């Protein structure tokens, strides 16, 4: 049975974002938005997957979303009051899960909460890491470090947590663990949105609620026109593929997967 949900206010809006490097257009009028999805009786943040071929401009858009780079034009707006994104207010989970090596797990989270130990301990509990609170990052497994890094960025971000290639270089079991972990992380707060940049279409369908396919327009001769935009939004909630485990044998999953695989060469 599919989960009933209600779509509420806008949490993240990409408004006409264009970016050029040395006059060369990379992004052209990127428009997209994420709305608060309310599921009665539970917290459910949104997970958006940003997919697109190599070199299309995903990292460029990621840096703009993080407030690390000003676009040539356009805006990233956060929250119901639509305030512009500011560097330092967005959580960024980099591929190597950087943590302060000379601080314990708990101390890494305290930095993110301005020393609010109740908040930090609560997050460690939620992420099943309370028993490791006194360890140093070098004493953790890769998966445990990733948990702490996500918890830390959730605590210090306002609305948005960005993740760069969370599935890359992992074996299939580890990919399944990350999918599960992201599901748990998104269930912490319905006002938090995760945006994942990934090349892994299958893991993205399993993890995300919405997919944004970034690609270029084509001229009449079928050649790509410089400057990518969101060509297609795939609503996995409406497809009945969100908030469920083991969807990979569902015919709808296979249909969406083959649709994206067919679209990809044209992006």
Can you tell me which of 6, 16, 21, 98 binds ligand ATP, judged by CB under 6 A? Answer: 21
The C-alpha atoms of residue 109 and residue 141 are separated, in whole angstroms, by 17
Q: Looking at beta carbons only, is 25 or 240 nearer to ligand ATP?
A: 25
User: Whole-number minimum distance, CB 41 to ligand ATP, in Å?
Assistant: 38
Q: Answer for the pair 17, 75: CB distance below 8 angstroms, yes or no.
A: yes
User: Whole-number minimum distance, CB 22 to ligand ATP, in Å?
Assistant: 6
User: Whole-number minimum distance, CB 150 to ligand ATP, in Å?
Assistant: 21
Show Cβ contacts of residue 69 under 8 Å, excluding neighbours closer than 6 positions.
19, 60, 63
Three-state secondary structure call for residue 176: helix
Closest alpha carbon to 198 in 224, 179, 184, 219: 179
Strand 24-38 to 6-21 pairing? antiparallel
Q: Looking at beta carbons only, is 17 or 56 nearer to ligand ATP?
A: 56
User: Whole-number minimum distance, CB 160 to ligand ATP, in Å?
Assistant: 18
Q: Which of residues 154-193 bind ligand ATP (CB under 6 A)?
A: none
User: Whole-number minimum distance, CB 27 to ligand ATP, in Å?
Assistant: 8
- For residue 153, count CB atoms less than 10 angstroms from its CB and return exposed for 0-12, middle for 13-18, buried for 19 or more: buried
User: Whole-number minimum distance, CB 93 to ligand ATP, in Å?
Assistant: 16
Q: Looking at beta carbons only, is 48 or 99 nearer to ligand ATP?
A: 48
Q: Which of residues 41-80 bind ligand ATP (CB under 6 A)?
A: 52, 54-60
Q: Looking at beta carbons only, is 60 or 210 nearer to ligand ATP?
A: 60
Q: Looking at beta carbons only, is 158 or 165 nearer to ligand ATP?
A: 165
Q: Does 26 bind ligand ATP (CB under 6 A)?
A: yes
Question: How many binding residues for ligand ATP (CB under 6 A)?
Answer: 10
Q: Does 11 bind ligand ATP (CB under 6 A)?
A: no
The C-alpha atoms of residue 204 and residue 210 are separated, in whole angstroms, by 9
Note the helical H segments in the chain. Answer: 58-65, 105-112, 117-126, 142-156, 172-186, 201-207, 251-263
Q: Looking at beta carbons only, is 26 or 242 nearer to ligand ATP?
A: 26
Q: 251 in the Ramachandran plot: left (φ > 0), alpha (ψ -120 to 50) or beta? A: alpha
Which residues of the chain form contacts with ligand ATP (CB under 6 A)?
21, 26, 52, 54-60
């Amino acid at each position: 049975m599919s989960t009933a949900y209600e779509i509420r206010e806008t949490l993240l809006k990409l408004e006409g974002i264009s970016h050029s490097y040395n006059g060369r257009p990379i992004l052209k009028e990127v428009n997209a938005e994420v709305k608060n999805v309310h599921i009665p009786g539970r917290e459910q943040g949104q997970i958006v997957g940003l997919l697109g071929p190599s070199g299309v401009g995903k990292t460029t858009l990621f840096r703009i979303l993080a407030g690390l780079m000003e676009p040539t034009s356009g805006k990233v707006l956060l929250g119901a009051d639509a305030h512009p994104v500011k560097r330092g207010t967005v959580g960024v989970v980099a591929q190597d899960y950087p943590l302060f090596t000379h601080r314990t797990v708990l101390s890494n989270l305290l930095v993110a909460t301005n020393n609010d130990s109740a908040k930090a301990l609560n997050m460690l509990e939620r992420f099943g890491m309370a028993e490791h609170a006194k360890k140093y990052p070098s004493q953790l497994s890769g998966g445990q470090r990733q948990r702490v890094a996500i918890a830390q960025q959730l605590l210090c971000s306002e609305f948005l947590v960005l993740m760069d290639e969370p599935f890359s270089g992992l074996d299939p079991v580890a990919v399944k663990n990350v999918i599960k972990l992201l599901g748990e992380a998104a269930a912490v707060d319905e006002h938090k949105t995760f945006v994942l940049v990934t090349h892994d279409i299958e893991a993205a369908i399993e993890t995300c609620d919405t997919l944004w396919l970034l690609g270029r327009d084509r001229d009449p001769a079928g050649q790509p026109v410089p400057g990518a935009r969101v060509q297609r939004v795939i609503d996995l909630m409406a497809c009945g593929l969100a908030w469920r485990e083991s969807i990979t044998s569902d015919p709808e999953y296979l249909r969406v997967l083959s649709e994206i695989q067919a679209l990809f060469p044209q992006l």
